[in-house]
Amino acid sequence: MSESRFRLPGVSQQNKYVHRKPRRPTHLPRRLTPPPERQGPPDLSLFLYAGLVLVLILVVLAVPYVIGYLFEVLF
């Protein structure tokens, strides 16, 4: 059995890429009206203020430890 029954594709040959136009899935109905207008970006200022508050709390909690560490190291 020197010959195999299955033939492997040629690996040395490059497959040529052919671009095909994208098609709408067949299970979706055709759109007869234009898509709705997009809304503007959400207001993320609440997250900015929450982040600033968390940084402020972290600084308030860390300053006494940093001062204590400096006194311990320097004196």
Range of the domain at 63: 45-75
Has residue 49 been placed in a domain? yes
* pLDDT given for residue 5 in this prediction: 73
Judge if pTM exceeds 0.85: no
Summarised one tens digit per residue, pLDDT across range 23-53 is 888 898 888 899 899 999 999 999 999 999 9
Spatial separation of the C-alpha atoms in residues 24 and 30, rounded to whole Å = 8
31: in domain = no
Number of domains in the chain: 1
Distance of CA 46 to the CA centre of its chain: 22
Confidence of residue 4 (pLDDT cuts 50, 70, 90): low
Considering the domain boundaries, does residue 1 fall inside one? Answer: no
Considering the domain boundaries, does residue 18 fall inside one?
no
Residues 6+ apart with CB under 8 A from 30: 24
Cα–Cα distance between 32 and 6 in angstroms, integer? 49
Q: How far apart are CA 19 and CA 17, in angstroms?
A: 6
Q: Is the pLDDT higher at 5 or at 34?
A: 34
